[in-house]
Chains A and B, each alone.
Chain A
Amino acid sequence: MAAHLKKRVYEEFTKVVQQQQEEIATKKLRLTKPSKSAALHIDLCKATSPADALQYLLQFARKPVEAESVEGVVRILLEHYYKENDPSVRLKIASLLGLLSKTAGFSPDCIIDDAINILQNEKSHQVLAQLLDTLLAIGTKLPENQAIQTRLVDVACKHLTDTSHGVRNKCLQLLGNLGSLEKSITKDAEGLTARDVQNIIGDYFNDQDPRVRTAAIKAMLQLHERGLKLHQTIYNQACKLLSDDYEQVRSAAVQLIWVISQLYPESIVPIPSSNEEIRLVDDAFGKICHMVSDGSWVVRVQAAKLLGSMEQVSSHFLEQTLDKKLMSDLRRKRTAHERAKELYSSGEFSSGRKWGDDAPKEEIDTGAVNLIESGACGAFVHGLEDEMYEVRIAAVEALCMLAQSSPSFAEKCLDFLVDMFNDEIEEVRLQSIHTMRKISNNITLREDQLDTVLAVLEDSSRDIREALHELLCCTNVSTKEGIHLALVELLKNLTKYPTDRDSIWKCLKFLGSRHPTLVLPLVPELLSTHPFFDTAEPDMDDPAYIAVLVLIFNAAKTCPTMPALFSDHTFRHYAYLRDSLSHLVPALRLPGRKLVSPAVSPNITPHEDPSQQFLQQSLERVYSLQHLDPQGAQELLEFTIRDLQRLGELQSELAGVADFSAAYLRCQLLLIKALQEKLWNVAAPLYLKQSDLASAAAKQIMEETYKMEFMYSGVENKQIVIIHHMRLQAKALQLIVTARTTRGVDPLYGMCEKFLQEVDFFQRCFIADLPHLQDSFVDKLLDLMPRLMTSKPAEVVKILQTMLRQSTFLHLPLPEQIHKASATIIEPAGESDNPLRFTSGLVVALDVDATLEHVQDPQNTVKVQVLYPDGQAQMIHPKPADFRNPGPGRHRLITQVYLSHTAWTEPCQVEVRLLLAYNSSARIPKSPWMEGSEVSPQVETSIEGTIPFSKPVKVYIMPKPARR
């Protein structure tokens, strides 16, 4: 056997080599022949055996075909199809036909007759299925043409009785995708009895092949997706499929039931074997709940996921999902959750458990116990203890969604979510903590629940702890003991993991401001003040003490009586912290002191906001720039930039817009300044190195435009055009400056050509936006394009120069939401005096922890740069898994950077900073053909440049020479 295989391998290997040689020959042919179809025709005619022909077709499929030549190619393929006896070649042709008809810009209605025609004479089931697939591709390409759609549906109906499951599958798929939506139209147009697609598909719910049954359900779902209203009658059919033997059928059936329950939630369905009736959505909910304990985990995941989106379900059904109806020896038993609640409400907390504490209570009537058909009973209890974590995660997500829409359910599911904090898989734990945070405004934690939640603070995973801090930020606590407990646990967390400092402080800030009245009675204890004695002043640098103060000061903000309890040093500490940690400590109205800064009344909407108006006015003032003399224009720009910058500093919510606009104005200012230079007034080129200012300006404008394009989130296409336009102007400036300062024309040729390419690229990318750019630089440039193409460099430069001066200032429309990307490196802090020692030539790992705000796609753009004192720079690409996403617009980078260097005599500092990598050519659209077929994977988008966007942090390191 092995020998045989080996032989096969060798055979195949040699075959490939031969083919490659031939390929080279055919390539030559193709170069001389302009038409693709002709080349293909010759290839196919040359083929002596089906295997040969197949190889040619495979090769052909690797290269794209232009829309103009598609029809020719199709004709050749069809012609060959009729002659071909080998089914595998026919199959490949059929698949190529489908691929070709997808080509953009080609209308496949001309080949439909042929396609249907060859379908009628085809005997091979596989080829038939492939042809139907091709018809599907054609049909989806022509959604407007009713006649063709009807024809295709007819063809599909005819082949539905085929014996091969593949063919039936494709037919159903075709029906699902093309089945007519409105009956009346087809009736009028064709006079035919319109086929009721739903009934036809419904008939195949009982097909003997499970794959066909699945396809039928999928087709039905497809109809629904296309906007056809499914009949309620298929509900019963779908319910029967829930007990199918095959998991894919059950999985699809669950989906179908869900769809119907969303369509007819209020319909009434009878309960079998009783006279009662219930709402359809409740019935469906019960059925899907039942599937949460299905034998196949794929179905379980599907069912658990869908439960989350059934919000219309009645509340008593919903609450059943959390109740398993425990019993022991036929006596009703309470769950641990109920017992905990009872213990709590009876005032007795955390008693030691005794044997028989959970002893069952009253007897149950044996007849009333339903073990299986109890509908929704305990579905989530089962889902949450499922063996597969995929099911558990789905169940947690569903819980979250349902709890968000029903506060009473949120209250009930709390115990279960808290339990999930102990799951064995971290992902599940994290997900449940996030879920709890999302529903936190609906719930108040009981003390015993809080206790369990807080226990997780000791978790060794940083993600878990931080998620928990986030959760505590928005949790409602019911008692002062709860607050105290939380504080104690957080302080314990702080001693165990000192790196959590910032996160804990932030958490206490919110905890304090949410529960001022609960903190108030705790203040004397927390500050350890005594009514008669003065106590020792605590250490101001102790993170734990700061944590306590953060809690108290934030509570004091809305509790004016609290400062009366402070002792003298507390006031001093307040003043210190208010300065050093102003983001954590709010301004307080303290007795005998003036308010540090006036409180901003929060209820002003942005439109009435005076600062917003100010921003608008400053920007409008700039419109008049065109009418001013250069001197006046410069001054106006300078003032406006200054105003905007100051505004950005004062109003954090407007910072993005202000900075963005200021950057644009700065570009314009630089451009004006550069054009004001004296060197332009000299008629002849100077070839001198005097134009530093102008070339520096050009360079700076380029930098600014890159920052504008890539450092802000929320930039829309209309801004991109303006930014690119500005960059084009900078490039023109650069060209002119170079022409003026360099001797000889040779380098100019290249530069001119490159510039004209840029212009061409601009035109192609922003063709739709060109009408908005009237009278602008590029507008004029494009008018003169034919002339520029033929001109000599010197002349080009001259034209550019005049145009640059004449061009108008383009107004930059402001985007809706714009935020500047920023990054702060938390770790390393750069304070250490102890150098990091390591043996030279080996590596040392440096933990880097940074928060990123408003960075789009950080996995690909954010890099870490290390600058060594010798000027050597190193760029590190963090792994995608190093980025966490704690909230919208926020990211966290926790990674390790490896440092290494040759030996030094003294410890020295290296700089670590974060860079934003960009690549402006990534905006070019890709061809559609390349995506579908087997092409070599595209080369990773390379980095064009980088923008530093965090403050550099200095790290003291010392590579020691290796000991011998």
Chain B
Amino acid sequence: PPTLRIEGKLGAGQDVGRSCILVSIAGKNVMLDCGMHMGFNDDRRFPDFSYITQNGRLTDFLDCVIISHFHLDHCGALPYFSEMVGYDGPIYMTHPTQAICPILLEDYRKIAVDKKGEANFFTSQMIKDCMKKVVAVHLHQTVQVDDELEIKAYYAGHVLGAAMFQIKVGSESVVYTGDYNMTPDRHLGAAWIDKCRPNLLITESTYATTIRDSKRCRERDFLKKVHETVERGGKVLIPVFALGRAQELCILLETFWERMNLKVPIYFSTGLTEKANHYYKLFITWTNQKIRKTFVQRNMFEFKHIKAFDRAFADNPGPMVVFATPGMLHAGQSLQIFRKWAGNEKNMVIMPGYCVQGTVGHKILSGQRKLEMEGRQVLEVKMQVEYMSFSAHADAKGIMQLVGQAEPERVLLVHGEAKKMEFLRQKIEQEFRVSCYMPANGETVTLPTSPSIPVGISLGLLKREMAQGLLPEAKKPRLLHGTLIMKDSSFRLVSSEQALKELGLAEHQLRFTCRVHLQDTRKEQETALRVYSHLKSTLKDHCVQHLPDGSVTVESILIQAAAHSEDPGTKVLLVSWTYQDEELGSFLTALLKKGLPQAPS
């Protein structure tokens, strides 16, 4: 039977880490995302590609690779996969992803090789070579990978250029969501998909058990905190990751500054962000309604109030707001600034995201006020510490909303924690009545599909059959008489006459005959006459005839009366009909078996 194989083996099963899924659909093999795991520094960092084919080249086995967005847990292993393991086939991603992805890969490479001194890592040249294999796609553009396989991208929110992909072979299709966000934010819109009714929807489930509060409270809180602090004359430090949330917060502060006519400087630590900001300016069509509608007057990413940060500014007197990388305060510029400002209770640090255990960020969030720095220094934290969660994943309600929009036959949950996924799995099965799977890492799911088979029908036959019904009812199944011809793997429905002609067969007549015994002492002719008048009065809609030879016909059914050879008081009615008139014929025999009404004497 036709099946659809999902191999979660490579990563991304019940785990938030490297995303990598292998889908086999109608004989085509597609790899979805090619991510790395942040938590490991050894081989486990990348998916085990040797699993895909033991022997033989990857290019021969895989038909294409699709990257949903530029986060490293979705694209980090790409140069390793294509250049070091070896893959020459097409890699599909959206234009913004194609633009930003190499910047992040290069940054990642620098940290791994230059800072940590790792050997056997991919080189800058490999990133470039890898990007040459990329084919960029537009939103809603149907890309024909080969004659049978086609893919189509949908908007996913989350980060700039994030997309959901529909993979379709013939009538079978899979939708892979990547990461997505169902609530719009300050710079991106909400994910959207049409009712494409795929056989399978593979969705992320990071927030499977959470229903989030309105984003407006969060925004208002954030702005109020920042505003109050700068009004007091304090400095605000916001540690961020270079891409994604940082841009949202920038827009938020920028518009607030504009609205409130504030003059306090806002700085953004330089480096990779500047390059990325450039792409945000370019890909306006991928942003939300407000930015798209106003960019003719002013591109929102051309910040008026936000300037590049210089190390020396940190010591400037007076209030200021600084965005600095990295986001968890574990190293780099953000940590430097933090050390300078921590001693003043007027200042404030706002952590906009989750912090890993062991980082300074995690320590101060859990309330630690005295930090041991390197060199046995003790840093006393007097500044205010705030936590503000800005996350761009869909919550449980959002996931359900997307499932409702796409109306899939089945759902498969990835990219989440097993315990949480279990809850969502139950909910999906309960409310949509579709089966839902949640494979572990390395587990293969095989799903049988029932592909629809297109059958050609001749127009003449269709029209003839249509004419018989009263009203054409679109969604109700209709009974149709015809002959199905299967020839050269094509199916056709034709009228039986044509089928006979094509196949060169002669038509066979099939007739049913039935005898009905009647108690009647009169002559045969009289009996026939009585039958005739009886049928004439009962079957008003049919054509009942009394032929000169004494037989009676109803449509094409013939009824003859004969005397019983043994019993003269019994007459035998011979009823004969063709196979096509089976319905009427059996009705007639049943009617005649009940006997004739008493004749008026």
A residues at B contact (CB < 8 Å): 161, 203, 206-208, 245, 293, 295, 324-330, 333, 335-337, 352-356, 366, 369-373, 378, 381, 384-389, 416, 419-420, 422, 424-425, 452, 455, 458-461, 496
Contacts and interface: CB of A to CB of B under 8 A. Distances in A.
B186 interface: yes
18 contacts: A161-B471, A208-B472, A208-B475, A295-B192, A295-B405, A324-B213, A327-B210, A327-B211, A330-B423, A333-B211, A336-B213, A352-B384, A381-B214, A384-B216, A385-B215, A424-B290, A459-B259, A459-B260
Contact of A387 (B212, B221, B289): B289
Given A161-B471, A206-B475, A354-B367, A371 B214 contact: no
Given A324-B213, A336-B214, A372-B431, 6 more contacts: A208-B472, A328-B209, A328-B210, A330-B420, A372-B397, A422-B223
Interface residues of B, number: 59
A919 B200 CA distance: 68
B275 interface: no
Interface in B186-202: 186, 189-190, 192-195
A571 B193 CA distance: 70
A458 B397 contact: no
* Nearest 8 Cβ contacts at the A-B interface: A208-B474, A336-B217, A387-B184, A419-B216, A355-B387, A460-B261, A371-B400, A355-B365
A389 B432 CA distance: 30
Contacts of B482: none
A384 B215 CA distance: 10
Contact of B213 (A326, A371, A458): A326
Interface in B344-396: 351, 365-367, 384-387, 396
B191 to A, nearest CB: 10
B158 to A, nearest CB: 14
Contacts of B366: 355
A424 B195 contact: no
Contacts of B365: 355
Nearest to B290: A424
A373 B221 contact: no
B289 A330 contact: no
Given A387-B289, A458-B261, A452 B220 contact: yes
B24 interface: no
Given A161-B471, A326-B211, A386-B184, A293 B217 contact: no
B431 A330 contact: no
B214 A419 contact: yes
A517 B317 CA distance: 45
Interface of B: 183-184, 186, 189-190, 192-195, 209-221, 223-225, 227, 255, 258-261, 288-290, 351, 365-367, 384-387, 396-397, 400-401, 404-405, 420, 423, 426-427, 431-432, 471-475
Contacts of B351: 355
A496 B404 CA distance: 50
Contacts of A161: 471-472
Contacts of B221: 336, 353
A206 B385 CA distance: 60
A336 B289 CA distance: 26
Contacts of A325: 211
B431 A370 contact: yes
Given A353-B387, A371-B431, A326 B184 contact: no
Contacts of A295: 192-195, 405
Nearest to A340: B217
Contacts of B426: 366
A385 B396 contact: no
Contacts of A378: 397
B18 to A, nearest CB: 24
Nearest to A387: B184
A335 B213 contact: yes
A420 B212 CA distance: 18
Contacts of B387: 353-356
Given A336-B221, A372-B404, A460-B258, A384 B431 contact: no
B474 A324 contact: no
A491 to B, nearest CB: 15
A353 B386 contact: yes
A72 to B, nearest CB: 42
A386 B426 CA distance: 28
B474 A206 contact: yes
Nearest to A331: B209
B364 to A, nearest CB: 9
A460 B260 CA distance: 5
Contacts of A385: 183-184, 214-216
Nearest to A322: B214
Contacts of B397: 324, 371-372, 378
A389 B209 contact: no
Given A161-B471, A324-B397, A326-B212, A419 B186 contact: no
A384 B214 contact: yes
Nearest to A366: B423
B386 A352 contact: yes
A337 B288 contact: no
Contact of B289 (A327, A388, A419, A458): A388
A881 to B, nearest CB: 15
A504 B213 CA distance: 35
Nearest to B288: A387
A872 to B, nearest CB: 36
A458 B258 CA distance: 11
A420 B216 contact: yes
Contacts of B189: 387
Contacts of B194: 295
B289 A389 contact: yes
Contacts of B258: 460
Nearest to A213: B474
A293 to B, nearest CB: 6
Nearest to B184: A387
A324 B211 contact: yes
Nearest to B473: A206
A330 B214 CA distance: 18
B371 to A, nearest CB: 16
Contacts of B216: 384-385, 416, 419-420, 422
Of B195, B211, B215, B473, chain A has the most CB atoms within 10 Å of the CB of B211
A387 B220 CA distance: 17
A369 B423 CA distance: 10
Nearest to B417: A329
Contacts of A372: 397, 400-401, 404, 431-432
Given A324-B211, A324-B214, A387-B189, A369 B386 contact: no
Contacts of A460: 258-261
Contacts of B475: 206, 208
A371 B396 contact: yes
A369 B386 CA distance: 31
Of A324, A424, A452, chain B has the most CB atoms within 10 Å of the CB of A424
Contacts of B385: 355
Contacts of B193: 295
A671 B400 CA distance: 81
Given A327-B209, A371-B397, A335 B214 contact: yes
A62 to B, nearest CB: 38
Contacts of B384: 352
Contact of B290 (A327, A389, A461): A389
Nearest to A360: B210
Contacts of B223: 422
A689 to B, nearest CB: 62
B512 to A, nearest CB: 36
Contacts of A419: 214, 216-217, 220
A333 B186 CA distance: 25
Contacts of A245: 195
A329 B420 contact: yes
A888 to B, nearest CB: 29
B232 to A, nearest CB: 13
Given A366-B426, A373-B431, A425-B290, A330 B209 contact: yes
Of A326, A416, A496, chain B has the most CB atoms within 10 Å of the CB of A326
